[in-house]
A and B are shown apart, each in its own frame.
Chain A
Amino acid sequence: MTTRLQDAAATPFALEMLGITKRFPGVLALSDVTIQVRRRQVHALVGENGAGKSTLMKILDGVYAAGTFQGSIRLDGRPIAMRSPADAKTLGIGYVPQEITVLDNLTVAENVFVGAWNGRGARFVRFPRLFDRAAALLERNGIQLDPRRAVATLNASQRQLVMIARALADDPVVLILDEATACLTRDESRTLFRIVERLRDRGMTTVLITHKLAELFEIADRATVLRDGTVAAEFDRSAFDERRIVAAMIGRTLDAFYPTRDSRIGDGEAIRVERITVPHPHVARRNVVEDVSFSVWRGEILGLGGLVGSGRSEVVNAIYGRIPSRGSVWVDGRKVVIRNSFDAKRHGIGLLTEDRKRDGLLLDKSIRENVSLHDLRRISRFGIIDRARELDAARAFVRKLSIRAPHVETPVSTLSGGNQQKVVLSKTLFAGPRVLLLDEPTKGVDVGAKYEIYRLMMDLAREGIAQILITSDLPELLALCDRFLVLARGRVADTFTKSEASDARLMLAATGG
């Protein structure tokens, strides 16, 4: 510990990555990237998908071993070389990966000290000691979790905290949070940031990798913007400016980040739902959605607000017939019976699900096979698929949504998040829906693709398609929607139009104020 403090005097930087260049066959992933992270600061690393953030982090975490890239890394002023993630851990890099990898059936304490349960030399795990160690660690870092609790009973943000505690258990010099808030609600993110702030006060240096600019403003002391494998810009907190940061990220200025609506809401009701009630899947006599009614006009975008767990996703999934529910649905003025997704699709409803990797795409199939999936009849005759027609359809969507891929035969698993999402959208649109249910359409999507998705939504509105939007990105919700319906604990808490809408009103309703 003393040596670390002495070295600390030599340089104000906790972590320096100097002149990092990394080549893959045929691709220059990083070109002369230099990042210097000051001690006791929260340093944000932002950039679109494919900008090189992941590659940089894999170098820092030892996944790409020393020697496979050019440049040097210094920790507390001393040069370090890592051959594996285990090396990175021992040297003081506390990396918290994007995916939450916890062992559900074990306790918080076992997860925090995963792999090091028994301490040096001991052959058996001594649980009282393990719990004590965990309690001390959590206490020290201001994380409120019961070490004896089973991880299976924790929510997403608490699991994230377990992951952070795991990284802190090795007493790191820098803590790296890779998209830590991707699965968290605003409130949960706030709680997380409070802990990060506390860690900073106690001397911890943190690198925060994020997509969300709001987080930057909330917590970062300094930000580095990566674009196309190079450092595009650096900002100190005093110079933070949303437009300048976005411009640095995408390499051009956006006159307005959110497109303005250029069409009128059409006449006629596209969809009306009455008293939708979704029973709780496991608990008897409890509902996750209760008596929710609303209607959406042709060409209108309805924002479904509320916290994660308020029943937003359940409403759209119930309308699409994916989960059992009671209540009635009218499409284009006609009452329809929806028992399953087939019925929903037949009546002109389309759904984009929240998690494209889980239930949005056939990952190892090509763009072509994914796009055509929702309307195989259109590309076939007498049950036999017409390959030429299928190709035409796929190419048309690749062009229309500017999906960036080498070929329509490219497996979608190799595409970036934004392009994958565009494939999911193409697939849904291929069936020609008149009502579109969008559950987190911009989650894990880079800024450029986000903007393209917004523009597409405006185009669809102009074509008269009714849309229901769910998003955890509050500014996005406020900017895109014409009308809002806020849910809290499965019930309608508030409903208002764009002119009456505000950040505060939405949050107040969502938190049941």
Chain B
Amino acid sequence: MRKFVESIRRLWAIPEAGILAPLVVCAVVFQSINPTFLGESSVSAILRAMAFVGMIAVGQTWLMISGGIDLSVGSVAGLCAITASWLMKAQGWPVPAGIAAGLAVGAAAGLINGVLSVRIGIPAFIATLGMLYVARGLNYLLCKGYPIYPIPDALKEFGRAEPLGLSWAFLLFAALVVLADLCLRRTVYGRMVYATGGNVEVAAIAGIPTTRVRIACYVFTGALAAAAGILLMCQLNVGQPEIGTGWELDVIASVVIGGVSLFGGVGTVVGTFLGLLLMQVVRSGLVVAGVNTHWQTVAVGVIMVVAVGVDLLRRRTKIS
């Protein structure tokens, strides 16, 4: 018995435990309500749905650990998708050039966000909220409010392909999660991100180029937002101006559920991945269980607040 209690305690002390437990509980509950829930097609759908918001959430994880935040990610994703499709359709750019330009726009938006908030000192919340409006506006100016199609066949094929029964978008996202998690945990650069977010003065005294680290996280997030927007464009097969609307909220919710501190310095990419998974499981589960879809939104809100509450509780028990 004592051994059992001890092992539970140790599990509880793992940072990601706070999300893993409810994730397992939710999966079991939904599976018992509807046995098709953990079926192949359902799981595949859950995973595929995560890819776009998930990709941005990885960037946002780095960014929030470094002490920043980016509210403009959804709008930037939309702008980049439209920019890429517009360049390829209306300007006749070749596919690689169009995609590179889309990514560059995302990185540039991130750079502007970073410079405004880190160098000039405009609070990140305000600077990136501004970018949210600007990017959304530019998006509609560019496409005049109409979807851009058709997009090149190569991209159509790419978006429709089902490697391993999943999608390229998900596989790219999965690879990104593994790589970003390892980099954050194991590399000097990752350590610099944690230090900068933990205490920027301490990091500066240690000789870490904190300004550069913080701006780089914004650029990284912007580029990933662009990638997510362009991937969704491939899957939808059309440059839809509404791409990315409201994503910023899902992104931040999943990062926070995953255990990243709003004050920086704490969190992991794996945690964010579990946070995304929990959100998606609850959403799909409620659909499978036949609940009114609007309850999904309620559930996400509740989960986020509860997750942060559980995390606080966990930290408290660990210290005393």
Contact residues of A with B, CB < 8 Å?
A: 320, 322, 340-342, 344-346, 351, 353, 358-365, 369, 372-374, 376-377, 380, 383-385, 414, 427, 431
Contacts and interface: CB of A to CB of B under 8 A. Distances in A.
Contacts of A351: 205
A362 B195 contact: yes
A384 B205 contact: no
Contact of B188 (A353, A359, A376, A431): A376
A314 to B, nearest CB: 15
Interface of B: 186-189, 191-192, 194-195, 198-199, 201-209, 265-266, 319
B191 A342 contact: no
7 contacts: A340-B204, A344-B207, A353-B201, A362-B198, A364-B265, A374-B206, A377-B188
A342 B195 contact: no
B207 A365 contact: no
Given A362-B198, A364-B265, A341 B187 contact: no
B207 A342 contact: yes
A385 B191 contact: yes
A342 B186 contact: no
A427 B186 contact: no
A425 B280 CA distance: 47
Nearest to B205: A341
B198 A364 contact: yes
A397 to B, nearest CB: 15
A322 B188 CA distance: 23
A353 B209 CA distance: 18
Closest 8 CB pairs of A and B: A359-B201, A345-B207, A342-B207, A362-B198, A376-B188, A373-B206, A374-B206, A380-B188
A385 B206 contact: no
B204 A322 contact: yes
A304 B203 CA distance: 26
B209 to A, nearest CB: 6
A376 to B, nearest CB: 4
A93 to B, nearest CB: 26
Given A373-B191, A376-B188, A383-B189, 14 more contacts: A353-B201, A359-B205, A361-B199, A362-B198, A362-B199, A362-B202, A364-B265, A365-B198, A369-B191, A376-B192, A380-B188, A384-B186, A384-B188, A414-B319
Nearest to A361: B202
A364 B189 CA distance: 19
A364 B187 CA distance: 19
Contacts of A340: 204
A359 B207 contact: no
Nearest to A317: B205
Contacts of A359: 199, 201-202, 205
Contacts of A373: 191, 195, 202-203, 206, 208
Contacts of B199: 359, 361-363
B202 A385 contact: no
Contact of A385 (B186, B203, B209, B266): B186
Best-buried of B189, B198, B209 by chain A (most CB within 10 Å)? B198
B115 to A, nearest CB: 18
A341 B186 contact: no
A359 B199 CA distance: 7
Contacts of A383: 187-189
A11 B42 CA distance: 80
B194 A365 contact: yes
Contacts of B208: 342, 373
A176 B195 CA distance: 38
B291 to A, nearest CB: 39
A299 to B, nearest CB: 24
Contact of A346 (B187, B204, B205, B207): B207
A374 B201 contact: no
Contacts of A376: 188, 191-192
A341 B204 contact: yes
Nearest to B190: A385
A427 B206 contact: yes
Contacts of B195: 362, 373
A397 B247 CA distance: 47
A431 B208 CA distance: 13
A427 B203 CA distance: 12
A384 B187 contact: yes
Contact of B205 (A320, A363, A365): A320
A386 to B, nearest CB: 9
Nearest to B197: A362
A258 B315 CA distance: 41
Nearest to B189: A383
B118 to A, nearest CB: 15
